[in-house]
Amino acid sequence: MHTKSAPNTPLLNVNNVSWGIANKSILNNINVQISPGKFVGLIGPNGAGKSSLLRCLYRFNRPISGQITFNNHDIWQLKSEDYAKQVAVVLQETPSQFNLSVFDVIALGLTPHKSLFSSVTNSDKQNIIQAINTVGLDQHSNQSFESLSGGEKQRALIARAIVQQPQLLIMDEPTSHLDVKYQIQVMELAKSLGVTVFASFHDLNLAAAMCDELLVIKNGEITHSGTPTQVLTENMLAEVFGVCAQVNSHPQLSKAGNSIPHITYFYGYE
Ligand SMILES: Nc1ncnc2c1ncn2[C@@H]1O[C@H](COP(=O)(O)OP(=O)(O)OP(=O)(O)O)[C@@H](O)[C@H]1O
C-alpha cells in the first residue's frame, strides 16, 4: 500500500476511539485528525492517556470501539508489514538490541521492506550510511548500540526510522531522558525529515517550539486542540496541569514566521 493522501485528506483519522482494560475505561471517544506533513504534539498530565493513545495508533492496543484509518484504510484491515512500511515508532525506553552494532540497528529499518531471506543491497547500504550521517553518528557506526549514550541511542532510532522511509513517525516521549541539548536536537532532527510526526511531550515549551498543532489529553479525553498559541493559555495550564504560569512570546519566531508561546512557571502555588 503506497497510496498518498490528497493534501486536505487526513493521513491519520481517529474516529470516536475508546480503549480500556479490565473494565477500566482509559480512552473515551477520541477524535483526532492528522494532516500530511504536520508535526503534531500530544500533551497532558501523567496518566492522562498519551501512551495509550499512541499505542492504539501503532496497533499495540486494539480499540474497544471506534475506528482508526491511515490513508483512508482501517489500520486493523491492513497487513502488519504494509502498515510497518508506512509508520515508524520511536519510544522513550530504548528496547534492548542485544549486541547489535549501530549500523545493524539502523539497518533494521529495512525489515518491513524485505522478504525473509533477501539480502542488503548496495543501495540499501548507501541509504543506511546516509541516515547515519544525517543523525551525526558516522563515528559510531561500528560501536555496539548498547554502549551509546541516551541521546545517541535516540538519534540511532531516528536513523532507523529514516531508513524505514515512513509516511508517519510516532514518537512517545522520545526525549524525556535526554539533556536539554539532545532534547532539542532529537526533535529538530525529527522535524527536518519532512514526514508527518505525531509525538508526545512533557516539556511544553519544547512542544510549543516544535509543533504545528497541539492536542491536549486529560482523563482519556481530548480537551483542547489547535496551534500552540491557541492551546497553551494560562487557563488551560491551570485547568489541565494545575500549574500557575504566565504565557509570553518566545523571542524567536517559528520557521513559518509564527509567534511561539513561551511558558514561565510560578512556584509555591497550590
Ligand atoms: N496495560 C495497562 N493495564 C492497566 N492500566 C493501564 C495499562 N495501560 C495504561 N494503563 C493506565 O491508563 C492510564 C493512562 O496511562 P498512559 O500510560 O496512557 O498515560 P500517559 O499520559 O502516557 O502518562 P505519563 O505521562 O505518566 O507517561 C494510567 O492510569 C495507566 O496506569
pLDDT of residue 73: 95
Indicate if ligand 1 lies below 6 Å from the C-beta of 47: yes
DSSP three-state, residue 207: helix
For residues 250 and 261, is the Cβ–Cβ distance under 8 A? Answer: yes
pLDDT of residue 5: 52
Residues 104 and 27: their CA atoms lie apart, in Å, by 37
Residue 220 CA: nearest ligand 1 atom is 14
Residue 200 CA: nearest ligand 1 atom is 22
Indicate if ligand 1 lies below 6 Å from the C-beta of 263: no
DSSP E strands: which ranges in 49-164?
65-70, 73-74, 87-90
The DSSP bridge partners found for residue 221 are: 218
Indicate if ligand 1 lies below 6 Å from the C-beta of 166: no
Indicate if ligand 1 lies below 6 Å from the C-beta of 26: yes
pTM: 0.91
| Domain spans, the chain | 12-265
- Classify residue 4 by its DSSP letter: P
pLDDT of residue 2: 45
Residue 54 CA: nearest ligand 1 atom is 18
Please report, rounded to a whole number, the percentage of residues in the chain having pLDDT higher than 90: 64
Residues 263 and 201: their CA atoms lie apart, in Å, by 14
Question: Is residue 63 over pLDDT 90?
Answer: yes
pLDDT of residue 8: 67
Query: In terms of C-beta density within 10 A (0-12 exposed, 13-18 middle, 19 or more buried), how is residue 95 classed?
Result: exposed
Report, as an integer, the average pLDDT of 49-69: 96
Query: In terms of C-beta density within 10 A (0-12 exposed, 13-18 middle, 19 or more buried), how is residue 164 classed?
Result: buried
Categorize the per-residue pLDDT at 4 as very low, low, confident or very high, splitting at 50, 70 and 90: low
CATH classification for the domain delimited by 12-265, as one of 3.40.50.300, 3.40.50.150, 3.20.20.140, 3.30.200.20? 3.40.50.300
pLDDT tens digits for range 103-135: 999 998 888 777 666 777 888 899 999 999 988
pLDDT tens digits for range 210-268: 999 999 999 999 999 999 999 999 999 999 999 999 999 999 998 888 899 999 999 98
pLDDT of residue 192: 87
Query: Residue 266: CA atoms inside 13 Å, Cβ hemisphere, count?
Result: 12
ipTM above 0.90, yes or no: yes
C-alpha cell at 27: 480512552
